[in-house]
Structure 1
Amino acid sequence: MLKQLSLRWKMVLSYAIPLLILLAIVGINQVKMNAAVEKSNALNDSAYLTPDILKINENITRMQRSSYAYILSGGNQSSGSSYSRKIYQDSSVSIETTFAKLDKGTYSPAFVADLNKLRGIYNAVKESNGQLVKLVDDGKVKEAMEAFKLGNSVRIAQDGDSLADDTAKFDLASRDRLREMVTEDIKSAKNVVVFGTLAAIVLLMGFGILVSLYLSRDISTNASQVSTTATSIAATLAQHEKAVTQQGSSVSETTSTVEELVSSARLSSEQADSAATSARAAQETTARGLELVTRNQADVLFLEEKMSAIAKQIMGLSDQAAQIGGISKLVGELAGETNMLALNAAVEAARAGEHGKGFAVVASEIRKLADQSKQSADRATQIVADIQKSTNSMVMIAEEGTKTTHQVSDSVQQTSKAFENLGQLSEGVYQNAQQVLLNSKQQAAALIQINEAMQNINNGSREMISGTSQARIGIDALTKVADHMRTMV
């Protein structure tokens, strides 16, 4: 396929394919890096989840402890009760703030469910401890102590500890998975860049070497052709130069002869009119003869085309006959196989008796072979029909060739008559020319012009010799360039 491409496209192809591979590598690497960035962002976004969960759980514990301290201090009757109440309120505010912060994010369904459970635990602790604080504020310290001893708020807080631990573990496991996925994506991107770049370099080198081989071979072939052509042209120019030199010598000799004829041609002026008239008649007759000869040549060419068409038809007939022979051979082979299968069927039938199942298989094979034989016979029939059509066409072409031959014969007869008239006129011209040769004053001027023309031809021959020498120098330079191109590759 590279042989059919031009030099420009070979160069483009050698760079385009590795470039496309590099672009594909960049695209794949970009996809991998984008995935890694997304997972890294998700990892960064979830970095505060575990601390916030632990912070909520710690504040729930502080609420539990501060409410217990508030009960033990007796509420308003103790100086430490105000500090415990402040810790309780600060912890509640911190929990509310943390929940508000977490509500702004987007998390997995499992984490959202755990967060809602933790919120429920907080609300339960807040409600339970709020009731205990209210009892203390109402002066019912003993009742608050007994209610606290029942352990409802403690159990709720313990559930919060367990849920917070599970949520933190789940978040840490998720963060570990994300971290592993980010590492794998970055590693995969590095592998794509490394191996893809190596593959692109290998392909670039391979295509470069391949294109270089093709280019060097093309340049070497063209240089050889140029060198061969230049050598042939140089030889032709040498022969041409020799011929021109000989022509110059002949022109010089002819010029001398013409100068001698000028003096004798002045005596042939009396019979010039008669010779001119006879020559004019001879020219007209010759023109008619040439026209008829041209027609004769056209007819002969037409006849050759017809005969060529006949030859092609005969070749087609020969090919089709060969196909018939092949099909006949196939039919013979199928017949042989049919006989063998029939023999096998008979043997199987003899062995099996009434239960001859093998006979059915052999009979099926025989039917298949019979179908193939029928197809081959149909094909042979079609080919024979085609041969008949070709034969009919060949007969028609032969008839056309016969008609053309008759036309050529008539043209030749007319040409013969025309040239008979030309012979008679030429005889008259000859008789007059004998007298014109004695006295041709009118030819003197023409011979003088011929003499001048011969001088011009002689000058032109010299210029042609000079131009041929320069052309030979150029051919030598071209041969050197071709040799240099061959040495380059």
Structure 2
Amino acid sequence: MIGTLNLRQRILAGYVVPLLLMVGVAFAVYLQTQRLQALSADAVAAGRAVALGKEAHVGLAQYQRDMRGYLIAHDRNALETAAQSMARATENLDALAKLLTSAEQREVLARLLKTIDEIAGVTGKYRELVDAGSAAKALQFFRQSNLTELSVRVDALIDQIEAHELEILAQRDAEQTEASATLVSVTLGATVAAILLAIGIGRALAVRSTRTISESVAHVSTASTEMAATVDEHERTVTQQVAAVSEVSATVEELGMSARQSASQAESSAAAALQALELARHGTRAADEAAQSTAGMKEKIDSLAHRILSLSEQAGQIGGIAKLVGELASETNMLALNAAVEAARAGEQGKGFAVVASEIRKLAVQSKKSAERADALVTEIQNATNSAVMVTEDGSRSADEVMATASRVAEAFDAIAGAANNVSENAQQVMLNSKQQAAALSQVTDAMLSLAAGSRQMAAGTEQTKAGIENLKQVAHGLKAMV
């Protein structure tokens, strides 16, 4: 599946898979944290229930002591203190009722409240006797009552509630310890798995991406070699064209000499006219051949320009990929920096993660530098291909000029042929025809000079194209060595 992705998609995949794993880890950590919070809340509630039970127990004991003190000493202050103690005990038991969650505990609390009501009834009875002035009866009632049994029952019920809540507290502490250990194990295990997965995916993507770039560089080198061969062929064609121009110039010079001789030797005008006709036909064929060669050369130049433009577009795509790598390296650097900050906040537990974040930052910086170097090389390739395109455009224009000049040469040779026919048919007009022929030959000579100059310019452009292609090959070899 990775082989079907482009370079940008491969890089994104290398980051997405570990990121998804880390998201899953974060969700698991969140669930464990919620569980820890719930266990902590249960433990706090159990501890609070134990404390409330003890405070209620103390309040009830204080209430009974104060009531016994009133029974013995008839002190009204003892009644007020007893009322306050009972109020505190009742308030604590109401708060305790809100914290109890099990039906068993609520049943025990109901029995406790019923027992407290019985104690309040007994103490209220002997209080009434004391208030009525029957202290002896009140004391006798106190001795005969089951107040001691009720007090023991209260102690037992409160101890039962406290024991159950202490059991819950111990259970929640154990569960918290287990959940904390699980959270640490999940976090460390998932982090190590994410790191190993990221390294594995990164290596796989790096191998495949390097292979893809190497293949592209090989294609560039092959295209450069083909372009060099085409330019060499173009250079040979230009050389042949220069030779043909020289030959045509020599032929025109000979025709000029023949025209001058025909003016002074009218007797041989017919033979000279036939010779001029033959030479004109030869010149026409040479001009046609030059035009055909120039047309073929123009097609090859246009093909070369298209290939260079395609190479420039590929280089631009490589530059875009290099820029994307630089941007992802910058984002990776920022993510690693944030991870280092979070690891520093975590203290001793985050030291290992901080080391990993530091190494990731170093890799991100190196990736960014490599991307910048690749981008610079791509810029040089594009500059070289732009220069090559300009040279091929100059060559194409020169080829058009050569074709136009060859056409004019062919027309001039046709005029020469017509003049030669007229000389052979009408020897009396030899002098006039010779002058016309000399003027036409002068124009042909000028055209040949222009054609020679254009050929020299085309040869110079070919040399520049060869130099640009050589630079392009060197850049391709450099990029291949880099990857």
Aligned pairs (5 A) from 1:51-450: 51-71=51-71, 73=72, 76=74, 81-82=75-76, 84-102=78-96, 107-261=101-255, 435=421, 438=424, 449-450=443-444
Instruction: Give the Å deviation of 1:259.
Output: 4.0
Question: Structure 2: how far apart are the matches of 1:111 and 1:144?
Answer: 36
Quickly say closer, same or farther: Cα 1:83–1:260, change in 2 above 3 A. Answer: same
Deviation string 1:169-223 (CA, Å, 9 cap, x unpaired) is 1111111222222222222221222111111111111111111101111121111
SS across alignment from 1:139? coil
Instruction: Give the Å deviation of 1:62.
Output: 3.1
Question: Structure 1: how far apart are the matches of 2:103 and 2:450?
Answer: 110
Deviation string 1:82-134 (CA, Å, 9 cap, x unpaired) is 46435433321221332354466574444444333322222221122111221
Question: Structure 2: how far apart are the matches of 1:178 and 1:450?
Answer: 112
Larger radius of gyration: 1
Question: Structure 2: how far apart are the matches of 1:473 and 1:434?
Answer: 48
- Contact residue 231 and residue 466 of structure 2 kept, 8 A: yes
Instruction: Give the Å deviation of 1:244.
Output: 1.2
Deviation string 1:355-377 (CA, Å, 9 cap, x unpaired) is xxxxxxxxxxxxxxxxxxxxxxx
> Counterpart in 2 of 1:38?
38
Quickly say closer, same or farther: Cα 1:445–1:208, change in 2 above 3 A. Answer: farther
Question: Structure 2: how far apart are the matches of 1:15 and 1:188?
Answer: 27
Question: Structure 1: how far apart are the matches of 2:215 and 2:229?
Answer: 21
Question: Structure 2: how far apart are the matches of 1:448 and 1:124?
Answer: 147
Instruction: Give the Å deviation of 1:445.
Output: 6.4
Residues 1:453 and 2:462 aligned together: no
Deviates more, 1:124-133 or 1:31-40: 31-40
Matched AA of 2:31: V
> Counterpart in 1 of 2:388?
none
SS across alignment from 1:190? helix
- Contact residue 53 and residue 162 of structure 2 kept, 8 A: yes
Deviation string 1:262-297 (CA, Å, 9 cap, x unpaired) is 6768989xxxxxxxxxxxxxxxxxxxxxxxxxxxxx
Deviation string 1:392-430 (CA, Å, 9 cap, x unpaired) is xxxxxxxxxxxxxxxxxxxxxxxxxxxxxxxxxxxxxxx
- Contact residue 233 and residue 475 of structure 1 kept, 8 A: yes
Q: Where does the alignment leave 5 or more consecutive residues of structure 2 unmatched?
A: 263-268, 271-417, 426-432
Matched AA of 2:453: N
> Counterpart in 1 of 2:47?
47
Quickly say closer, same or farther: Cα 1:67–1:225, change in 2 above 3 A. Answer: same
Deviation string 1:418-451 (CA, Å, 9 cap, x unpaired) is xxxxxxxxxxxxxx99945836788776665544
Question: Structure 2: how far apart are the matches of 1:36 and 1:88?
Answer: 42
Note the aligned Cα RMSD (angstroms). Answer: 3.3
Instruction: Give the Å deviation of 1:23.
Output: 2.5
Question: Structure 2: how far apart are the matches of 1:124 and 1:448?
Answer: 147
Question: Structure 1: how far apart are the matches of 2:451 and 2:144?
Answer: 142
Instruction: Give the Å deviation of 1:474.
Output: 1.4
- Contact residue 118 and residue 163 of structure 1 kept, 8 A: yes
- Contact residue 63 and residue 82 of structure 2 kept, 8 A: yes
Matched AA of 1:214: R
Aligned pairs (5 A) from 1:464-475: 464-475=458-469
Quickly say closer, same or farther: Cα 1:452–1:5, change in 2 above 3 A. Answer: farther
TM-score (norm 2): 0.59
Question: Structure 1: how far apart are the matches of 2:440 and 2:109?
Answer: 128
> Counterpart in 1 of 2:319?
none
Question: Structure 2: how far apart are the matches of 1:485 and 1:434?
Answer: 65
Quickly say closer, same or farther: Cα 1:452–1:198, change in 2 above 3 A. Answer: same
Quickly say closer, same or farther: Cα 1:438–1:140, change in 2 above 3 A. Answer: farther
> Counterpart in 1 of 2:481?
487
Matched AA of 1:460: G
Deviates more, 1:250-259 or 1:164-173: 250-259
Quickly say closer, same or farther: Cα 1:132–1:477, change in 2 above 3 A. Answer: same
Question: Structure 2: how far apart are the matches of 1:190 and 1:445?
Answer: 104
Matched AA of 1:27: F
- Contact residue 60 and residue 125 of structure 1 kept, 8 A: no
Deviation string 1:49-70 (CA, Å, 9 cap, x unpaired) is 1121122123223333443444
Question: Structure 1: how far apart are the matches of 2:445 and 2:107?
Answer: 124
Instruction: Give the Å deviation of 1:41.
Output: 3.1
Q: Where does the alignment leave 5 or more consecutive residues of structure 1 unmatched?
A: 269-431
Instruction: Give the Å deviation of 1:47.
Output: 2.4
- Contact residue 53 and residue 93 of structure 2 kept, 8 A: no
Instruction: Give the Å deviation of 1:39.
Output: 2.4
Quickly say closer, same or farther: Cα 1:106–1:451, change in 2 above 3 A. Answer: farther
Matched AA of 1:31: L
> Counterpart in 1 of 2:326?
none
Residues 1:3 and 2:3 aligned together: yes
Q: More relative contact order in 1 or in 2 (CA 8 Å, sep 6+)?
A: 1
Quickly say closer, same or farther: Cα 1:262–1:39, change in 2 above 3 A. Answer: farther
Question: Structure 1: how far apart are the matches of 2:440 and 2:25?
Answer: 88
Question: Structure 1: how far apart are the matches of 2:106 and 2:442?
Answer: 124
Question: Structure 1: how far apart are the matches of 2:25 and 2:440?
Answer: 88
- Contact residue 97 and residue 109 of structure 2 kept, 8 A: no
Deviation string 1:303-334 (CA, Å, 9 cap, x unpaired) is xxxxxxxxxxxxxxxxxxxxxxxxxxxxxxxx
